[in-house]
Amino acid sequence: MQPASPRPHSRELLMAKFEALLDECDLVAHNAAYGEALNDVEAFFLIQGRKFLQETFQEKFQEHIKRTETTAAAKECPHCKKKTRSKDEKSKTVVCVHGDITLERCYRYCRHCEQYSFPVEVLLGLATRYTNGLRRLAARCCGLGSYRLAADNLDELCGIQLSHTKIGEIADETSGKIAEQMENNAALRGAIREGFQKAEGETEFSADGTCIRTRNDVGEVEYKEVRVGAFAKRVPSESALPEEWATRDLLKPTVVSAFAAIESAKDFQSRCQRERRRIGVGGVTSTLGDGALWIWSLVFMVFGKTCECLDIYHAMEHISECGKELYGTGQVFKDWLERLRLMLLSEGFAGMERELSVLLSGKLKKDQRKSVESLLEYLRKNRERLHYAERLALGRAIGSGLIEGACKNLIGKRMKQTGACWHVPRATRIATLCAALYSNQWKLCWKKYH
């Protein structure tokens, strides 16, 4: 059935408002100062144009409510499906991407189940206080910055004025729904899986963690680790020599699927298993990590034996600390560090063991000897993860920059702000938003989830 035509006087009223808007725009342009017409007209439409869209949206949707309320379905009780009696009209304010709109809908009574209801709300999706478009904007802003910054951004960019507390509540609820849909929505899961499977490149996995301040049930401050994992596909780059490692053009991943949570290593391992199955990954070409024992244990339990790589930057941090103990921070230290970097990239553990053994055979102070022995033990534990020359020749990554970026620039930047202290459930939900934004899944969540 075709919808009834809108009321002629309503359409005429909107057109009259539009004509008035254009006339006012001409006046603004005419009165603009020399060289300022473009900026003045833009500012005019930013404010008045937004207001016109808000009023138009409200008027047109109110018309739709009135038409719907004349149908039989809008007169049925949502609970027992019996016919109801009209009692009165009540107004409701809904926050959308155009701002606040106030709508009138019919309040009805069912004498069969003795309940009052708004049947048209169920038919038109009016039960919510906030539209999906508003929730999407609020959740995105909260995933990228503090609640106060999110409130400022929504006001500045969209003219939407909500308190930072309310925006936090919206983001918290929305992130929970996104997590639920990613777990249970078959269409969304299928789209994510298909996107990952079709992407080109080798599959790699990386994991890391970053600590944030939390508050427990009795109000005490504790530090909890947000564990982060990421599956990615990356097309191998051109073969490179060890001395070219910093200047080679490493290709970016073609797809990323990240996830994060505050939970034990055992529970996070189970989460990795679920994520692996969700995107259809059997095994991975390589795994990268910073040397933490829980990461390599997780990798083995989830993927079995695979090609593991110790992040080159973390390896060099340990070498640098040892070098400072030996030589201070002058030019001798810099020359030594550069030589050992090239040795590590070229020869892996064998070259480093030879160099450090020579140092240990010489005269060293107690603290210097302890530092060298500690470095040698660290490298020995990771000896099978130091095949950098081979990985460079194959065009693979040797640094865990992808997961480091997630921990520092997204999770850390969002959740480790000055004075921030989280309750664990909310922190995990915000971490879910951060992970969705970091992955190639944000748009998919909103396309499939509603």
What are the boundaries of each domain within the chain? 8-129, 134-184, 186-311+399-448, 314-385
Contacts 24+ apart (CB under 8 A), 197-201: 197/279, 197/280, 199/233, 199/254, 199/255, 200/233, 200/235, 200/254, 201/233, 201/234, 201/235, 201/236, 201/251, 201/253, 201/254
Asked if pLDDT for residue 1 goes beyond 50, the answer is no
pLDDT value of position 253 = 93
**Which pair of tokens denotes residue 390?**
């081979």
What percent of the chain lies above the pLDDT cut of 70? 97
Asked if pLDDT for residue 448 goes beyond 70, the answer is no
19-47 mean pLDDT: 93
User: Which range has highest mean pLDDT (16-25, 181-190, 215-224)?
Assistant: 16-25
Question: How many angstroms separate the CA atoms of 238 and 361, rounded?
Answer: 40
Question: How many angstroms separate the CA atoms of 282 and 288, rounded?
Answer: 17
Q: pLDDT-based confidence at 87, cuts 50/70/90?
A: confident
Asked if pLDDT for residue 450 goes beyond 80, the answer is no
pLDDT in tens, 244-276: 998 999 999 999 999 999 999 999 999 999 999
85-110 mean pLDDT: 92
**Which pair of tokens denotes residue 130?**
């906030």
Provide the mean pLDDT of the chain: 90
Question: How many angstroms separate the CA atoms of 278 and 231, rounded?
Answer: 11
- List, in order, residues 6 or more apart from 356 with CB less than 8 Å away: 372, 375, 376, 379
8-31 mean pLDDT: 87
Contact 252, 234 (CB under 8 A): yes
124-141 mean pLDDT: 91
> SS in 3 state form for 311-356?
CHHHHHHHHHHHHHHHHCCCHHHHHHHHHHHHHHHHHHHHHHHHHH
Asked if pLDDT for residue 158 goes beyond 80, the answer is yes
Beta-bridged to residue 262, according to DSSP, are: 226
Q: pLDDT-based confidence at 8, cuts 50/70/90?
A: low
Contact 365, 322 (CB under 8 A): no
β-pair type (99-110, 115-117):
antiparallel
Nearest Cα neighbor of 22 from 54, 3, 55, 44 is: 44
Q: Is 315 exposed, middle or buried (0-12, 13-18, 19+ CB in 10 A)?
A: buried
What count of residues does the chain have?
A: 450
Contacts 24+ apart (CB under 8 A), 45-49: 47/159, 48/21, 48/24, 49/21
pLDDT value of position 184 = 87
**Residue 390: count of CB within 10 angstroms of its CB:** 13
pLDDT in tens, 270-319: 999 999 999 999 889 999 998 889 999 999 999 999 999 999 999 999 99
pLDDT value of position 417 = 82
Cα→Cα distances 364→319, 339, 352, 360, 369, Å? 17, 20, 18, 7, 6
Asked if pLDDT for residue 449 goes beyond 60, the answer is no
pLDDT value of position 404 = 80
Question: How many angstroms separate the CA atoms of 438 and 444, rounded?
Answer: 13
pLDDT in tens, 368-413: 999 999 999 999 999 999 999 999 999 999 988 888 877 877 788 8
Question: How many angstroms separate the CA atoms of 424 and 263, rounded?
Answer: 9
**Which pair of tokens denotes residue 183?**
């777990």
Least confident of 120-124, 185-189, 445-449: 445-449
pLDDT value of position 219 = 84
**Which pair of tokens denotes residue 16?**
């009259």
69-82 mean pLDDT: 90
Q: Which segments of 139-252 are extended strands (E)?
A: 202-215, 221-234
Measured over the CA atoms of residue 31, residue 32, residue 34 and residue 37, the dihedral's sign is negative
**Which pair of tokens denotes residue 39?**
């900026």
Residue, of 193 and 419, whose pLDDT is higher: 193
Contact 175, 432 (CB under 8 A): yes
**Which pair of tokens denotes residue 125?**
């999706």
Question: How many angstroms separate the CA atoms of 446 and 437, rounded?
Answer: 12
Question: How many angstroms separate the CA atoms of 19 and 24, rounded?
Answer: 9
